[in-house]
Amino acid sequence: MKIVVNYDFFKRVKLLNNPDSRLTIVKIRTKELFIKDLPILTFLNFTLTYPHISNFIYFTILDYLCFSFFYDLSIKKYNEDIFTIKVLNKYSKELAKLASMFNKFNIYTSYDLLLETELYHKETNLIFNNGLPNIVEKKYLNIPTYTITGDIEPVSIEQEHIIGSKQYVLTLGSPSNVHDYAPNPI
């Protein structure tokens, strides 16, 4: 079994489990600002401050703060965050699609069970690819799945990611050695 996705599966699970977190809202809103609004603001600020380029950074920071302030006022007025709702809906569709991919490989799970996924081990290794070093991050996750009898049991999934790429590979697997830290007996 090998499933290739372009997102960190465990980060999506954490975001969907805690969508009202202030940090989640700030991350999504800032990403939306940098992708869509910042190029327009940069062009406007550059044209306004052309003879005095030293004021360019101050105008850009001021625009960001004004955008955040007025956006917070609109959220308080309408009581919903449109950017966050759109992004969380997209993430939940991706997880539902991932559940169906797991089902194709006889790992019977659902969207609700994927939300109960737990990270139990994480390791980072350095590998060389054509003489260039790459950092490989491996996360080992316990995903609850249905058995033939209908019981729920965890299955260990390995998520492998080369840092800097957008490719995450999900495979069946468990770490070779997991150390449990126990207090030293006296």
| Same domain? 116 vs 154 | yes
Q: What is the dihedral of CA 46, 47, 48, 53, to 10 degrees?
A: 40
Boundary (domain end) residue, out of 51, 84, 117: 84
Q: Are 26 and 20 in contact (CB under 8 A)?
A: no
Q: Are residues 80 and 24 in the same domain?
A: yes
The model's confidence at residue 75, banded by pLDDT at 50, 70 and 90, is low
Contact between 111 and 95 under an 8 Å Cβ cutoff? The reply is yes
Can you give the residue range of the structural domain that contains 53? 12-84
Q: Which residue has the higher pLDDT, 35 or 137?
A: 137
Angle formed by the axes of helices 82-104 and 9-17, nearest 10°: 130
Specify the range with the lowest mean pLDDT, choosing from 55-69, 85-99, 110-124.
Answer: 55-69
The confidence band for 100, taking pLDDT boundaries of 50, 70 and 90, is very high
Entry pTM: 0.68
* pLDDT number for residue 86: 79
Q: Which tokens is 97 given?
A: 């699609």
178 in a structural domain: no
Number of domains in the chain: 2
CA distance 41 to 59: 9
What is d(CA 68, CA 4) in angstroms, rounded to the nearest whole number?
A: 36
Give the confidence band of 94 by pLDDT, cuts at 50, 70, 90.
Answer: very high
Residues 6+ apart with CB under 8 A from 85: none
In this model, does residue 137 exceed pLDDT 90?
yes
pLDDT computed for residue 79 by the predictor: 47
> For strand 2-5 and strand 132-146, is the pairing parallel, antiparallel, or unpaired?
unpaired
At 74 the pLDDT is 55
Assess whether pLDDT exceeds 70 at residue 95: yes
- Domain membership of residue 92 (yes or no) is no
- The domain boundary residue, chosen from 20, 49, 84: 84
The chain-wide mean pLDDT, for the chain, equals: 79
Domain termination site, one of 30, 52, 84: 84
**Mean pLDDT of the region 123-148:** 90
- pLDDT tens, 23-54? 666 666 667 666 666 666 666 666 666 666 66
